[in-house]
Structure 1
Amino acid sequence: MINKCRICGGEFFNKPIISLKNMPESAQGFLEYESDNQTMDINLVQCKFCGTIQLDCEPVGYYKDVIRNSGDTKTQSNIIIDLLKEFIEKYNLENKKIVEIGSGNGDFLRILNEFNVKCFGIENSTNNITVNSNGGG
């Protein structure tokens, strides 16, 4: 369990924002044991000083890598296009820069390029970076 903020080292509020009891470890990659029926309590906490909201447990080993549903249906694409359009309009982002942290294979960046914004992506996964630099993905 983490007892101090990862950002500033400050203390958390005494009461978690939400506590999820008996969550399956394997569903989130938290599994450290052979058995699939191990559980853990997950607490979403907030720092008293900087306000950062975070889990009070160690991150999964792949936390820097983007994992998304690989389904690429027309319906999913249309939903994503509509959501990004709404996001740009709601926050008045036309003619502005957008940075996607954890841009995966660049699928959202390709969609954002269709709007009147300048978009950039940051990605940790070497596989995703290689796919993008070779024109794939």
Structure 2
Amino acid sequence: MSANELLAPAAMRVDKWLWAARFYKTRSLAAQAIAAGHVRIAGHAVKPARELRPGDSLEIAIGDTLWQVVVRALNEQRRPASEAQQLYQESVVSRDRRAAQQEARRLAPVPGSQLRGRPTKKARRLIRGFNEGL
């Protein structure tokens, strides 16, 4: 057995695991997402203090992205992203769906996403002309 296996807990809180696995930036954000029903274990809504064990399957909704993962390991500390990805295994269906969503966002960006900062003088004149024409 390695040192990590000896130190790994048998179970831990869902909000703490989501934070350690880098799905959420803080534990409070993870707890808010759980309370809002964006995290499910085996299809059931849970509370932030629910015990999570290796082998549990989670559905995590972050924005319009739905992750389906199986918990592989537990870790009390937040580690770098490369190590955090070792804590779970994403399903093939979830990975394909996320890739399709990412491709769709790339091909059809949100209108106005290319706009940066304040409008130029020309753009202000166009806006003013549009608003006064109503």
Q: Structure 1 length normalisation: TM-score?
A: 0.20
Higher relative contact order (Cα pairs below 8 Å, separated by 6+ residues)? 2
Q: Larger helix proportion, structure 1 or 2? A: 2
User: Which protein is bigger by CA-based radius of gyration?
Assistant: 2
TM superposition score normalised by structure 2:
0.20
